[in-house]
Amino acid sequence: ATPISIMTATGRGAQSGVLVREAAALERLAAIDTLIVDKTGTLTEGKPRLTDVLVGPTFPENRLLMLAASLEKASEHPLAEAIVAGARARDVPLVAVSDFEAVNGKGVSGRVDGDRVLAGNAAMLLADVGVDTSAFAGHAEGLRQNGRTALYVAVNGELAGLLALADEIKINAAEAIRALHADGIRVVMATGDSAVTADAVAKALGIDDVAADQLPEDKKALVERLKAEGRVVAMAGDGINDAPALAAADVGIAMGTGADVALESAGITLLKGDLSGIVRARTLSKATLSNIR
Ligand code: ADP
Ligand code: MG
C-alpha cells in the first residue's frame, strides 16, 4: 500500500482503538486465514475471582489460603492476584515468603511460615516434588467442566488442597468469533489452562479448535506449525506467555490491557483489549489494499 493510504488507515484505526505499530502488519492482516487466540485475558476478562477452597480432612482451610496467598503475593499472574484478593476478602492475613520461584505457565513455589509451598497445575506439582494430584482430581474435573481454573496446592511435598477461580468471558468475544468465522477465518484457542477448562470456554464461544496445556514455546510452535502448513497466521494474546507466539506470527495482535512484552512483540495493539477490534482492523486492512489497485 502507499504510505498515504497506510497513514489514513493507521489514523482511522487509532480512532477505533486499533493501534498499528508496524504498517506491514496491517497489510498482512487482510491475507490471514487463521487466528490463534489466547484464552486468559484475551477471550476472558483475565480478572479471575477465587470461588472455592478445598482441603483434605486434616488441613485447615484458612491455613491453606494463608500459605497460597502469601506465596502468590510475589507473583504478577492474574490468578495470583485473585488468590491474594480472595484471602483479603476472607480476612486471612498474609505473611512473608522466601525462596520464591515462578515457573512460567505452570505455577509458583516458595517458603512460607516454615513450610515449603507449591501452587500450580498438575504438571507443576508432579515435576517439582512428584506430588500426585489424583486425590483431588475428581473435584478439579467438576470445577473445570464449569469453565473454572483449578489449582493444586502442595505443602511440604504433600497435596494439601485445591483452589478454584472463575474468569468471565468477555462480553463481545462470542460476537467477534462469529464475525471472524463468517469471514472465513479459522479460529484456534491456545491456552496454558487445562483441556477441560479450555473446552468449556471454547464451547461457550463456538470455537472448535483448542490447544490446551500450552507453554509459551508450545504456543510459538503452534504458530510455526500452522505457517508451515501454508496458513497465514495471526496470533492474539495479552501475556508474557504469549510474547514468543506473537513475534512468530505473520501478524501479532496484543491486547492493550496486557503485559508490556506482549505489546512490544506485536505489530498491532487492540487498545481496549476488545477482540472485535480485529474485525475492524481487517476491514481497514482490506480498504488500504484496495486503495492501491
Ligand atoms: P493462559 O495461556 O491461559 O493465559 P498461563 O500460561 O498464564 O495461562 O498459565 C497457565 C497455567 O499455569 C494456569 O492455568 C495455572 O494452572 C498455572 N499458573 C501459572 N501461573 C500461576 C501462578 N502464579 N499460580 C498458580 N498457577 C499458575
Ligand atoms: Mg493470557
- Going from the C-alpha of 164 to that of each of 19, 53, 233, 264, the distances in angstroms are 35, 7, 33, 32
Confirm if 89 and 69 have CB atoms less than 8 A apart. Answer: no
Residues 145 and 80 in one domain: yes
Domain limits at 274?
3-45+169-291
Residues 173 and 162 in one domain: no
Which of 166, 181, 198 terminates a domain? The answer is: 166
Confirm if 272 and 17 have CB atoms less than 8 A apart. Answer: yes
**The ligand 1 atom nearest the CA atom of 39:** 3
Here the ipTM equals: 0.92
Confirm if 234 and 34 have CB atoms less than 8 A apart. Answer: yes
Instruction: Give mean pLDDT, residues 44-55.
Output: 94
Convert the pLDDT of each residue in 113-134 to its tens digit: 999 999 999 888 887 667 878 8
Measured from the alpha carbon of residue 82, the closest ligand is 1
Confirm if 204 and 226 have CB atoms less than 8 A apart. Answer: no
43, 71, 106, best to mutate for ligand 1 pocket (most atoms within 8 Å of CB) = 106
Residues 187 and 87 in one domain: no
Q: How far is the CA of 161 from the centre of ligand 1 (A)?
A: 17
Residues 202 and 232 in one domain: yes
- Going from the C-alpha of 286 to that of each of 144, 150, 280, the distances in angstroms are 40, 42, 10
Q: Count of domains in the chain?
A: 2
**Ligand 1 pocket, 120 CB below 6 A?**
yes
Q: In the prediction, which pLDDT does 134 show?
A: 85
* CA–CA dist 59, 6 (Å, integer): 61
Q: In the prediction, which pLDDT does 174 show?
A: 95
Residues 155 and 287 in one domain: no
Q: In the prediction, which pLDDT does 273 show?
A: 83
Instruction: Give mean pLDDT, residues 208-219.
Output: 95
Residues 269 and 185 in one domain: yes
Residue nearest to atom 14 of ligand 1 (CA): 193
Convert the pLDDT of each residue in 270-291 to its tens digit: 988 888 889 888 888 888 777 6
**The ligand 1 atom nearest the CA atom of 83:** 24
Confirm if 102 and 130 have CB atoms less than 8 A apart. Answer: no
**Ligand 1 pocket, 38 CB below 6 A?**
yes
Beta strands in 56-143 (DSSP E): 97-103, 107-112, 115-120
Which of 111, 146, 166 terminates a domain? The answer is: 166
State the CATH number of the domain containing residue 240: 3.40.50.1000
Residues 59 and 41 in one domain: no
Q: How far is the CA of 5 from the centre of ligand 1 (A)?
A: 41
Residues 194 and 95 in one domain: no
Convert the pLDDT of each residue in 135-187 to its tens digit: 898 999 999 999 999 999 999 999 999 999 999 999 989 999 999 999 999 99
Q: In the prediction, which pLDDT does 144 show?
A: 94
Q: How far is the CA of 53 from the centre of ligand 1 (A)?
A: 17
Q: Interhelix angle for 195-205 vs 173-182, to 10°?
A: 70
- Of 13-17, 40-44, 68-72, 225-229, least confident by mean pLDDT is 13-17
Residues 154 and 103 in one domain: yes
Residues 193 and 159 in one domain: no
State the CATH number of the domain containing residue 88: 3.40.1110.10
Clarify whether 113 is annotated catalytic: no
Which of 133, 166, 199 terminates a domain? The answer is: 166
